[in-house]
Amino acid sequence: MLIAISLAIFCFLLYLIYCLFFWQWKKNCQPLYNNEKTPIMGHRGSPTLITENTLPSFKKAIDQGVDGLEFDIRLSKDKQIVIFHDSNLKRLSTREDSIAEVSLAELQTILLNKQEGQPEETYIPSLNDVVPLLDQIQVINIEIKSEGLFKGHDILNPLIEFLNKHQIDDKCIVSSFNPLILMNLRLKRPETVIGFLYNRNKLFHSWGNMIWMLRVQPENLHIHYSLLDSWIINWARKKGMRINSYTLNDKEIYNKFRSKIDGVFTDNIEYLK
């Protein structure tokens, strides 16, 4: 009996070592990457100049020569996908309502706060509103926001409908800090390119994120630039993942780590271009 238990433990340890250091999962093709340049993605558009996550901000980023756009999505009260970062309106408007408690039609009438010197008035767009911009960019990163592991999953079905309708898999990454949402998306739509957003707000975060990545099986690791020297980067590389870094706004830091990253999210497009 003792020999059988010892053998079982030994086999499990061998399997664990194989998964951690040798096993590689199949990944979807990402033609958006090449060896000529690092794709620069406008983080929520061009937020230092025009209110984040709005159409004028996205258009400004494109005018600045950005390669792609990154933005956040949530569901409105009537289950429509809107582009907005926070769970409520407090930071960017004169209202404090939760996004989930307001309909799309009403959200799109709420005037958002302006950046200093910004002439344009801006409003909350829906996901469908960005469709005319898709042909002007090389990549979009859609980040799914959620307030807990078991929350926010109801956005997946309408998002999948959007992805199926527009067939943008060659230029689209879907990311989230919620690994269960990413696992659910992988099961429902395996062809979607997934970006695993590294969560550093917990104890032993490197090991915790590594275990989640083994479960999610993403194409990309999206990680804060302050962690680009950590061992998890080398581990992700050996697993064949692309590395996209957020939110990298300094030219010196960008140049220092350029060889370690495949893509970058930035608020300061003009500094990195």
> pLDDT digits over 120-136, tens only?
999 999 999 999 999 99
Nearest to 74 by CA among 216, 192, 193, 181: 181
Per-residue confidence at 224, pLDDT binned at 50, 70, 90? very high
Q: In the structure encoding, which two tokens stand for residue 2, read together?
A: 């003792």
Question: Is a pLDDT exceeding 80 seen at residue 42?
Answer: yes
Per-residue confidence at 261, pLDDT binned at 50, 70, 90? very high
Q: How many helices (H) and strands (E) does the chain have?
A: 9, 9
Q: What percent of the chain is predicted at pLDDT more than 70?
A: 100
How much is the CA Rg of the chain, to the nearest whole Å?
20
Q: For all residues of the chain together, what is the average pLDDT?
A: 95
Q: What was the pLDDT predicted at 12?
A: 83
How far apart are the C-alpha atoms of 180 and 190, rounded to whole Å? 14
Q: In the structure encoding, which two tokens stand for residue 1, read together?
A: 């009996």
Question: Is a pLDDT exceeding 90 seen at residue 270?
Answer: no
How far apart are the C-alpha atoms of 39 and 36, rounded to whole Å? 10
pTM of the model: 0.96
Question: Is a pLDDT exceeding 80 seen at residue 265?
Answer: yes
Q: What was the pLDDT predicted at 28?
A: 97
What mean pLDDT is predicted for residues 155-173? Answer: 98
Q: What was the pLDDT predicted at 21?
A: 84
Per-residue confidence at 15, pLDDT binned at 50, 70, 90? confident
Say if residues 139 and 159 touch (Cβ distance below 8 Å). no
Question: Is a pLDDT exceeding 90 seen at residue 34?
Answer: no
Bridging pattern class, strands 139-144 and 172-176: parallel
